[in-house]
Amino acid sequence: MRLLVILDPLPSIKTYKDSTYAMMVEAAARGHELFVCEQHALSLARGRTMAHAAPLRITDTTGSGAPRYEEGEARSEPVAAFGAVLMRKDPPFDMEYVFSTYLLEHAVREGARVFNDPLAIRSHNEKLAIAEFAQFTPPTLVTRSADELRAFVDEHGEAVFKLLDGMGGTSIFRAKKGDPNISVIIETLNQFGARSVMAQRFLPEIRDGDKRVLLIGGQVVPYCLARIPKDGEFRGNLAAGGRGVARPLSARDREVAQALAPLLAARGLLLVGLDLIGDYITEINVTSPTCFQEIRQQTGYDVAKLFVDALEAACAR
C-alpha cells in the first residue's frame, strides 16, 4: 500500500519517542511504501486535492539506534492516489489546520481513505467532545462569563481553567475559592468576555498522573501512560515537564474506554487518546495522539503494530 503521512518537518521529529515515526517504521517493515508531506503541501488544483509529497525510505525498520531514513524528491499527485492517508500534523488546531481538513474532506469525496477522518476531527473539539459523555466527566463549565467562572470556583472550592484550543498544558490555571488572583486569571483567559473558557473541578488524583488511554480501531490498548506532574506542578503534560509511567489499565479506565471505543471508531476516528484523571475523562484527543513508544519501551506492548493492523483492516473494508 502507498501510504501518505502528513506531519511536521522530519528534522524536528524526536524519532526515539515520536508515535508517527513508530507508525512509519512498522508500516515500512510490512512493505508499505511511505510518502511524506507537511500541511502546507496540500492544495486544490483543477478540482482535485493534491499533495506535494516525497517518498521516504526507512533504512532501519528495527526501531533501534539512531533514526535512519532517506527522503526522495517530492512531486505532486492527487491525495486520492494513495492507498491511505494519515493526518499526523501536531496541534495547534488553528484555521490553517481547519482549511487542511476541508481539503482532505474533498479528497475523501474523491475516494481517499484519510485517518482520522477530517470531518470527524473537526466535529470533535478535544476539550468540548467530553460533553457528550457527561456520565464520565468531572463537573465542567464552558462560558465567557467571568461571573459564572467565579461562581463555579465558589461551588467546587477549586477548579482548573483552560482554553478550548490549548495544547501541551499551555494556558492552564488552577484557582481556589478566595484566591485574590482569580479575576486576573479569568481576564487573562477570557479576554474580558471575548473568549470561551472551560472550567473543571480540580481533581487531586492528578498527583497519580494524567492518564493517556489509547483507542485504536475500536479496541482499547491495555496499557496507559500516566503523565505525572513534576514537583511543584499540577500539570502532567510531558511538554510541561511531566514524567511518563506506563501502567495497566484500571477497571475504571477500561470501563470508560470500552464505552467510547466502538462509538468513536464508527465515526472514522481510527486513533483516539483519552485523557483521564482518576475516574474521569478530561479530554478526547483526535488530532495526533501520542505515547506509542513510551508504552512499548516500558511494557513491551507494540502499540504501532496494533495501529497498522487496524489501518490495514480499515483500508480492506
| Residue 175 DSSP SS3 | strand
Contact 225, 293 (CB under 8 A): no
Give the per-residue pLDDT at 239.
66
Radius of gyration over every alpha carbon of the chain, rounded to an integer in angstroms: 20
Please state, as a whole number, how many other Cβ atoms lie within 10 Å of the Cβ of residue 297: 14
Q: Cell numbers of 40, please?
A: 502546507
Residue 231 has pLDDT above 90, yes or no: no
CA angle centred on 219, ends 217 and 225, rounded to 5°? 105
Give residue-wise pLDDT tens across range 140-151.
999 999 999 999
What are the backbone angles phi and psi of residue 212, rounded to the nearest 5°? -95, 115
Closest to 116 in 3D by CA, of 276, 271, 302, 11: 271
User: Where in the chain are the domains?
Assistant: 2-123, 139-202, 205-302
The torsion region of residue 272 among left (phi > 0), alpha (psi -120 to 50) and beta comes to beta
Name the CATH superfamily housing domain 205-302. Answer: ATP-grasp fold, B domain (3.30.470.20)
> Which cell is 193 given?
468576555
Question: Could you give the angle at which helices 19-29 and 292-299 cross, rounded to 10 degrees?
Answer: 70
Position 69 scores a pLDDT of 87
- Residue 128 confidence (pLDDT): 96
Contact 53/75 with Cβ under 8 angstroms? yes
- Return the C-alpha cell found at 303: 502499540
Of the candidates 258, 256, 246, 247, which has an alpha carbon nearest to the alpha carbon of residue 280? 256
Q: Which residue has the higher pLDDT, 232 or 279?
A: 279
Rounded-to-integer distance, Cα 97 and Cα 94, Å: 5
What is the pLDDT at residue 190? 93
Question: 139-202 — its CATH code?
Answer: 3.30.1490.20
Tens of pLDDT, residue by residue over 113-165, are: 999 999 999 999 999 999 999 999 999 999 999 999 999 999 999 999 999 98
Q: Residue 92: its pLDDT value, please?
A: 84
* Catalytic annotation, residues: 127, 162, 212, 227, 235, 275, 283, 285
CA-CA-CA-CA torsion sign (146, 151, 154, 158): negative
242-252: pLDDT as tens digits? 799 999 999 99
The reply to whether 2-123 and 205-302 are identical in fold is no
Distances (CA, A) of 56 to 33, 89, 113, 225, 262: 8, 17, 20, 29, 33
CATH architecture of the region 2-123: 3-Layer(aba) Sandwich (3.40)
pLDDT at 210: 95
The pLDDT score that the predictor gives to residue 3 is: 98
